[in-house]
Copies of this chain bind each other. A is one copy, B any other.
Amino acid sequence: MGRTRPGDAGAKVLKAASTLFYRDGIHAVGVDTVAAEAGVTKAALYGNFGSKSRLVVAYLRERDRRWQEQIDTITAGCDDPRERVLAVFDAYEVWLSRDGYRGCAFLNATSEFPDPADPVREVVRHHKTALHGYLRAQLERVDSDHADELMLLLEGAAVSSVVSQDAQPFHVAKRLAEKLIPPRR
């Protein structure tokens, strides 16, 4: 009964990996630890993911998927493009205020995987391209093309808030963003 039902091990591993990889760093966490945290054997982990590398990719894809869900929620919740963009800053800040905040998982992964050709780095590019695309799409509707600038502010605030361990960078970033985005036409 406490036993894992067939097909569930993969999900449990992914959840444990997400917690541990984000919290401690990818290289710092071994597959034994992930399996133990998931309450699953190493054989099950390898059966589902094949290798640690593939698990890492799956972990980032899962995070990207969850992030996309957040964006959809924001998009559904309001219609004003300006608000939609600024809501991303707020989302980051809420995210930051929860404890265990360690910055952007994708940027952290980039630090740990130096080779730009690594599959991990492709997932990172995919994620950042999607964010950029979202910003650009919203900004087009107010005749602005400052998506690049807003990306810089978001990335800058994300890393600075880890260094300083507070939300102030996001306040600064959002204030500047508000100046950059023209009000709805």
Contact between A152 and B176 (Cβ–Cβ < 8 Å)? yes
> Is A173 part of the binding interface, using a Cβ–Cβ cutoff of 8 Å?
yes
Given contacts A125-B163, A128-B163, contact A25 B112 (CB under 8 A): yes
A126 vs chain B, min Cβ distance (A): 11
**Contacts of A110 on B, CB cut-off 8 Å?**
103, 111, 159, 162-163
**Contacts of A153 on B, CB cut-off 8 Å?**
152-153, 156
Contact between A102 and B128 (Cβ–Cβ < 8 Å)? no
CA of A160 to CA of B129, assembled, Å: 11
CA of A156 to CA of B102, assembled, Å: 16
Given contacts A125-B163, A128-B163, contact A25 B114 (CB under 8 A): yes
Contact between B173 and A124 (Cβ–Cβ < 8 Å)? no
CA of A114 to CA of B19, assembled, Å: 13
**Contacts of A108 on B, CB cut-off 8 Å?**
111
CA of A148 to CA of B170, assembled, Å: 11
> Is A107 part of the binding interface, using a Cβ–Cβ cutoff of 8 Å?
yes
**Contacts of A164 on B, CB cut-off 8 Å?**
125, 128
CA of A116 to CA of B103, assembled, Å: 12
CA of A172 to CA of B23, assembled, Å: 32
CA of A116 to CA of B128, assembled, Å: 26
Contact with B along A152-179 (1 / 0, CB 8 A): 1111110110111100110011001000
CA of A176 to CA of B173, assembled, Å: 13
In the complex, the chain B residue whose C-beta lies closest to that of A168 is B148
